[in-house]
Every structure is written in C-alpha cells, then in structure tokens.
Amino acid sequence: MNWSAQQYVLAVVATGCAALVLRLFQLHRGANPAMTWITASLGVLTASLVLQFSVVRAAVDAVTTLNTAGTLSNCGTLLAAACAQRGFLHVVRPGARSSVLRWTSAVVVLVVVLFALVPSNYEEVLAHASEEIQVPVTSASGYVYLVALAVLCVGLIRASWAYVLIAERFSLRYGLIAIALAAVIAVAYTVVRISAMVTYQLGVVVPAIRGNLIGNLYLTASGLVFLGIALPLVGGRLGLDHLAHWFRVNRSYRRLGPLWRALHAEFPGLALDVPTRLAGFRHPEHALYRRIIEIWDGRLRLRPHLDPTAVPGDGAAEAALIEDGLRRRTTGRRTRTPSSGG
C-alpha cells in the first residue's frame, strides 16, 4: 500500500481502537452475551487491520514466512464476522443455537493448513507492488477465505437487519445499518478479489480490479463496522437520540396541523388556548398529546355527521373520515342511524 493508503488504514485503526476502548469500558460496567461477542469482534477486527500495516507485515513475515501476516489478518476477519453475527443473534433470537463459530473455526484451521502446504504467488505480488496494475495474491487458502467470508457476511447482513427492525434508538438503528452496509461492501470485496484471482490465473488483465479497488473495499467495510459499533455508544452522549426523537415528535405534531385547524375552525372551543408557533418546538411531546386529544374531542362532536359505514383504519383513513364529517356538517347532512327509521 502507498503512503496515503497507510494513512487511511491508520485512521480506520484509530477509530477501531477508540470504539474498542468505549466498548471495554461499557463491558466493565455491565456485560451481556451480545455485548461480549460484539466487543470480541471489534478487538479481533482491529488486530486484523493492524496486520495490514506494511511495517507490521514486514516484521511478522521476517520471523515467519512470506504472507503470514496477511493470512493471520484474513483469519482474524473471519473470526470478527462470526463473533459479530453471534452477538446480533443473541439479541434477535435469545437462546438460539448457532454453529457459526464452530464452522468458522474449522475454516480458519483449513486456511492455515492450506497456507502451510500449498504455495502462493506472494513473491510475484511483492515484485509488482509498486506498479499501477498489481498482481493479486492468489492461493488455495485465499479462495477458501473469500468464500467463507462471503457466507459469513450474508449471515451478518440478515442478523444485523433483523436487529434494525426491532431497534428503537436512533443511534443504534443507524449503527446497525452501517454494519449491514459494511457487510454488503465486504461481499463485493470477495467478488472483486475472486474475479482478480481467476483472471490472473487465466492470463487476462482487467485493470479495474487489479489496482487499489480491493484494498479500498476492505478498508471501507472495516471503517463502517467501527462506525456502526461506536455510534450507539456516543449517540446518546452527543444528544443524537434525543434530537432524533424530538424531530419525529415535532414532525407528527406539524402533520396533524391542517386537520386540527379545520376542526378548531368548526369548533372554536376545542382548545383551551390556541398554541403558538413555537409550541411544538419547545415542548413537542406535550403539544402532540394535546393536539391528538383535541382532534379526538372534535371527532366526538362530529359523530352525528360521520359515515356509519366507514371501517376504522390508520391515521390517513381517520383523517379522511373526519374531513368527510366536516363537509357533511357544513352541508347540514346528518348520518342515518338504525333508530331513526327510514
């Protein structure tokens, strides 16, 4: 990797270390199985990224064999994905059994065995590392790693998205979305890298997948994972959850405005006092509850003019029913009830 790529790796690793410190602090204050697995995933992924530094790679390879650091990084990535998936499953399906850790451990052993027994083209990779069109690392262990990573990422997408659907806090929900997006990018990474390996072995040069694309996809996915894990931790402290809650409540208050004004025009005594422009801004929950109560009070007053054949529905259906009742009241039309004969 060039210097700019190394700087990006450093930034991603720094983000991961900060998120890991926050997670460990939270774990110290009180642990649960999901938090423990996610913290383990974060720690392993951070260590895996550290092995991507050129200096660290060279130091590890100098005392072992070529590409040992890369292989260990790959194994760490697999274990991080498995731990994250296990953590999310603890939340979505508490008590459910999963074999993801067992078969991931088996894959890691297979990757290490293949690395030791089947040679790769890593020497050629190093010889062309400074060129614009690079040589992809191609090995039997690499194919096993990439296929396993794709399978793990698909499972991680499903587990994290199932968690998104039940998450209530803004920062938690969007943190999980970031992790799901990271898994999608990781799947793209596996596809691009396998394509680069296959075309290399076939003697076909595809410049688009023989440059920095593979490394950029990997680092982008890692950065999104760190962001997704850190966001729920800092979101509450930075006030993001409170701000998002205020926005949702205030938006509901504003959307009910036209219906409330129409009822208030017909029944001026509906409100004890007309709210100011800043009512929904300063005290949104109080203003929203009051507006809903006053709308239902107006609905009760409109009961003689409401369509008796209407089926209760969602908010839009109720608003349409009230608007129809207001029109009936304006034209002097009253609904016919069974006791009125006819």
What pLDDT shows up at residue 77?
Answer: 94
Would you state the pLDDT for residue 313?
64
So what's the pLDDT on residue 340?
42
Which stretches of the chain score pLDDT less than 70?
A: 1-6, 28, 30-31, 95-96, 272-283, 310-314, 332-342
Question: Rounded to 5 degrees, what angle do the CA atoms 9, 47, 198 make?
Answer: 70
Rounded Cα distance, 132 and 210, in Å: 8
Residue range 15-35, pLDDT digits in tens: 778 777 877 777 767 667 888
Reported as a single tens digit per residue, the pLDDT across 296-316 is: 888 888 888 877 776 666 677
The structure's pTM equals 0.76
**86 contact partners, CB below 8 Å, separation of at least 6:** 37, 98, 100, 101
Cα four-point dihedral sign 311, 314, 315, 317: negative
Per the CB < 8 A criterion, the answer to whether 87 and 31 are in contact is no
Domains of the chain with CATH codes = 3-238 (1.20.1070), 243-337 (no CATH)
Q: What pLDDT is recorded for position 274? A: 64
Q: What is the pLDDT of residue 63?
A: 93
What's residue 272's pLDDT?
Answer: 63
For residue 312, the model assigns a pLDDT of: 63
